[in-house]
Amino acid sequence: MNKQKFQILVSSVNYNYNTEYYKTINYLIINQILDNSDIKNKENIYSYKDKGLSKSRNIAISKSSSEICLISDDDVRFKDDIEIIITEAFKNNPKVDIITFQIQTPNKQPYKSYKVNSFYHTKKTIMGVSSIEIAFRRKEIINNKIQFDENFGLGTKYPTGEEIIFLSDALNKGLKILYIPIPIVIHPIESSGKNYDNDKLIMAKGAMFYRLFGFFGYPISVLFTLKKATYSLKYNYIEFVKLMFHGILNYKDNKNA
């Protein structure tokens, strides 16, 4: 693969090999085959029978040879000047290793409530980051042996939180993470990670907090419950926090097994 300045790393499932949309950008697609289809690799498309979003992202990072990479999914659309925006952002911030940007909805509204000014991320601010907002210098990720935790993310036992863990591990290694208030991608407002009636997702949040903060994952889960349980139509506060604690205990058992 030729060395490139910028590449978009797309995770997909049972991809139909229609790359028409990607012709104007540098891309690499990791296609996870979950049916009986044959494995067919094409230029910049790698197919595997493995399952799990974090595994897909790790494979993409290892297969890429680009200097700067953007994490993405196959339901994302990109701003026309996305490569210029991202490469210029890194050029203007040479000491920054990771930059998070903004998402727009199809009607050009902010996907979430964003800060209007740039800032350096902390363990607190990364909690609001989505994976498709994340771009990074690949060399720094590789050299510091940072990967997506394959226990977390869609298609795993704990189907959320993989991007938060990725950024937290990067901060732990001393990498600098900057937020820049510029939209780069377009995505519908729906998000599986916001479903607070899904017991598996609630448990995964608890597991994520323990993965990040150890024992302090317990009080953080309580605070999360006080903030988010009101959005659940299925669980009251007690039931909600019990699910989070169950996720913590489950993660601890699996870790110690």
> Hey, is 135 helix, strand or coil?
strand
Query: Would you give the end-to-end CA distance of the chain in angstroms?
Result: 40
Alpha-carbon span 210 to 256, nearest angstrom: 13
Alpha-carbon span 163 to 126, nearest angstrom: 9
pLDDT at 2: 46
Alpha-carbon span 42 to 47, nearest angstrom: 9
Q: What is the pTM of this model?
A: 0.93
DSSP state of 106: T
Alpha-carbon span 142 to 62, nearest angstrom: 8
Alpha-carbon span 170 to 93, nearest angstrom: 17
Amino acid at 183: P
Query: Which pair of tokens denotes residue 34?
Result: 């979950």
Which residue ranges in the chain fall short of pLDDT 50?
A: 1-2
Amino acid at 32: Q
> Which stretch of DSSP H or E encloses residue 32?
strand 27-32
pLDDT at 49: 85
pLDDT tens digits, 185-197? 999 886 555 678 8
pLDDT at 55: 96
pLDDT at 29: 92
